[in-house]
Structure 1
Amino acid sequence: MPALARESLAGEARTDAQSEQHSALAAPVLIEQSPSNGAPLLSVIVPTFNERGNLYELVRRLAIQLQEIAWEVIFVDDDSPDGTAELARAMARANPHVRCLQRLGRRGLSSACVEGVMSSSAPYVLIMDGDLQHDESILPRMLQALVSGEADVAIGSRYIDGGGIGQWDDGRAMISRFATRLSHLVVPPDLKDPMSGFFMMRREVFLARARALSAMGFKILVDLFASGRKPLRFVEIPYQFRNRQQGESKLDNQAAWDYLMLLLDKLVGHLLPVRFIAFAGIGALGLAVHLLILGALFKSESLAFQSAQASATLLAMSFNFTVNNLLTYRDRRLQGFGWWRGLASFMLACSIGAIANVGIASYVFDAKGQWLLAALAGVVVGAVWNYAVTSVYTWGKPRH
């Protein structure tokens, strides 16, 4: 072989060796841990709703950062009307890294994350949004922290040195800080960004807590930390939150309600179902509405007491049903003809509950002679009856 050729081959060999050594130094554990059979080491779970415009760019960015390891991205789509699931499936036919899980008849970020994780087999799972606001460049560092055994959960954090919330206005920043303080009722106080929706964890850690998850609302990280007795070892890695480029934000007043219900469920859910607490609270508001309407109609002398009472009762029941349909049973919300059918069944159930209320109260009063105790007994029995019956017959089947 000519000397020049031998020198060229030797130079290429040295270059290849140097390249391999550089790659090994950059991510030694990641390469060692990648499965040899082509199965993914990391599953990226991306819950989506109307994120069609972001899919190609997100997959492109993931491919750049995860080129050293075996990975997949699972788009869990809540039947987006913009065709997100259809595009994800088309991408999956051309790209083996892409999968799509389309959900029908149910909606919610946390529950989508749970189903996405449960559909994967990778030893490590990442939760991130599909709106390109999370910084994918920190993914190798997050995975390294898990593979090395440093942590159970690696969290992309906006609230440690080097992190930031981008161009949020003062109002959103204040709400985020307040929600973070509230979350410390159920998560460790040294966790700086429990509201993060960008984190990675070992699969067995997730599975150990999966059955205890509330899967309510959109803050699954809070849910995970609050769903087990054994503390999770975590590391927070700073990143700068980006501005959304496509689509619309999913945050709204109902998301705030879901978050409060999640915290309540973690605090007292082992004693009472959180839906019952919400149902009873709305019932108390309904009582206030009833008294206001009754007072307005009767004291104005526009109606006799019996007519005013009947009108106030019907309006208060309608109020209770409407608010419960919007909030307590958001995931089973009734619409169209189903709304009217649900209102009728709700009124029927509550009418029977009112009869039970009076009957129990009368029985206790006759037995104990204490009107306050009798009244409370009647209210409790009526509330439990109304909740139990309407949860089955009014909102029994999950809907969009």
Structure 2
Amino acid sequence: MIPRSLELAVVIPTFNERENVPVLIAKLDQALEGRAWEAIFVDDDSPDGTADAARELARIDGRVRVIQRIGRRGLSSACIEGMCATAAPAVAVIDGDLQHDETLLPKMLDALQADATLDVVIGSRFVEGGGTGEWDRDRVAKSALATRLSRGVLKDGLTDPMSGFFMIRSDVMRGLAPLLSGIGFKILLDIMTASPRPLKFRELPYVFRIREAGESKLDHVVAMEYLIALYDRMFGRFVPVRFAMFSAIGALGAGLHMAVLWLFFIGAGLGFIVATAIATLAAMTFNFFLNNALTYRDRRLKGAKALVSGWLSFCAVCAVGAVANVGVAAFLHDVQHGYWAFSALAGILVGAVWNFALSSRFTWGRYK
């Protein structure tokens, strides 16, 4: 008997979803009965053993595959890797938390197979028949605001650009992959805005379910990543988003630098050079931890040992900038005869150029 040709790959980005792995595969098996499919779990090295749980299933079910990513994180980039790792002509993305309605997948696949001009089929919560389930007013309002913000980069009438549940032709996806930013959690928005031509899409309604196991990944950092993704699509070609983030954090660090300098130079009466050195170290430490959490979140350092090592590395690679900072500030302070604020800011500007280049290469660059 000749095996059926593979029709569909279902990509499941995961982080700490061990309990949901066997349940989701059982649901997919039931929903896609009679179809030739495979499931690709793309796991960001979950500490709860999600990848191991998927491998246990893969040993007895050849339709299950696992990609375990080490040293990098992010839902969008995980989806891109998974979608490019299949030979199936169609590929779907579905969350591993069971909140998406897997029974919609056959209808999505039928729609793609019936219309050769269709590029994407999207599960929508906001077309007639769809819904957000038991969301509270706050979450509904936030989703509506995010959708309105997306109109600045997306002008095609899509009702649910925030959806993480969709199906796309694999050849279309592979063609777009080099153009995608891979930032944040909203891979569909990335796909729809990256395409050089308008993608033809169809939206099918579904009702968002409540989570039964595990913990929600929604947090303030996720919201920040969404805003970053919008920035990247609107302005990223002019100023790269990572540099913009690094610079914004640097500006916050500059404010901290000035506050600490005032505290020790004016308040405590220390010498300007000593006070500047203390302020520089404080700002450098602040910048390291905030950049680790935001700018380099996709390859951030975790654990006490890694954080201490990273902080030392960050300080080391920025040493040239720090020396230049203190040196320039001290020189200008002497020349200006005590105009300390201008001197300090000039030192910060000189050091900032080195900080980005060196830290990108030596502190976080090794985790690319």
- CA distance 1:341–1:50, shift in 2 (3 Å): closer
| Corresponding residue number in structure 1 for 2:225 | 258
Q: Residues of 1 paired with 2:221 and 2:51: CA distance?
A: 24
Does residue 346 (structure 1) correspond to residue 314 (structure 2)? The answer is yes
Given candidates 301, 318, 333, the residue that maps to 2:300 is: 333
State the Cα distance separating 1:285 from its structure 2 match: 0.6
Number of equivalenced pairs: 356
Match of 2:71 among 105, 117, 125: 105
Match of 2:61 among 82, 95, 119: 95
Superposition deviation, residue 122 in structure 1: 0.2
Aligned with 1:394 (options 356, 363, 367) = 363
How do 1:98-247 and structure 2 match up within 5 A? 98-147=64-113, 148-149=115-116, 151-247=118-214
Partners of 1:82 and 1:344 lie apart in 2 by 29
Q: CA, structure 1 residues 276+235, in 2 after alignment: closer, same or farther (shift >3 Å)? A: same
Secondary structure of 2:41's aligned partner? strand
TM-score, normalised to structure 1, is 0.81
CA distance in 1 between counterparts of 2:76 and 2:284 reads 31
Tell me, yes or no, if the aligned pair for 1:135 and 1:240 is still in contact at 8 Å: yes
Contact 2:119 2:169 in 1 (8 A): yes
Structure 1 residue 347 displacement after superposition: 3.0
**Quick one: distance in 1 between partners of 2:86 and 2:220?**
32
* 1:379 Cα deviation after fit: 6.4
- Aligned 1:305-324 pairs, distance under 5 A: 305-324=272-291
Give how far 1:190 is off: 0.8
Cα displacement (A) at 1:179: 1.5
Q: CA deviation at 1:310?
A: 2.4
Tell whether the 8 Å contact from 1:49 to 1:80 is kept in structure 2 after alignment.
Answer: yes
**How many Å separate the matches in 2 of 1:217 and 1:273?**
15
Query: Normalising by structure 2, what TM-score?
Result: 0.88
SS at match of 1:287: helix
Q: 1:150 to 1:228 in 2, by over 3 A?
A: closer
Q: Does 1:286 align with 2:261?
A: no
Which segments of 5 or more consecutive residues in structure 2 lack a partner in the other structure?
Answer: 332-342
**CA-to-aligned-CA distance 1:26-69 (integer Å, 9 cap, x gap):** xxxxxxxxxx6433100011111221212222222222221132
Deviates more, 1:290-299 or 1:220-229: 290-299
Please name the residue that 1:14 is paired with: none
Note if contact 2:313-2:362 (Cα within 8 Å) is conserved in structure 1. yes
Report the secondary structure of 2:202's partner residue: strand
Whole-Å separation in 2 of the counterparts to 1:185 and 1:244: 31
The answer to whether the 8 Å contact 1:46/1:73 transfers is yes
The CA deviation at 1:304 is: 3.8
Q: What is the alpha-carbon distance in structure 1 between the residues aligned to residue 197 and residue 134 of structure 2?
A: 37
Alignment deviations for residues 165-199 of structure 1 (CA, whole Å, 9 cap, x no partner): 11111222222111112222222251111110000
DSSP 3-state at the match of 1:259: helix
Look at both structures and tell me which one has the larger radius of gyration over its CA atoms: 1
Q: Distance in 2 between matches of 1:340 and 1:79?
A: 21
Cα distance, 1:272–1:183 mapped onto 2, change above 3 Å: same
Unaligned runs of 5+ in 1: 1-35, 363-373
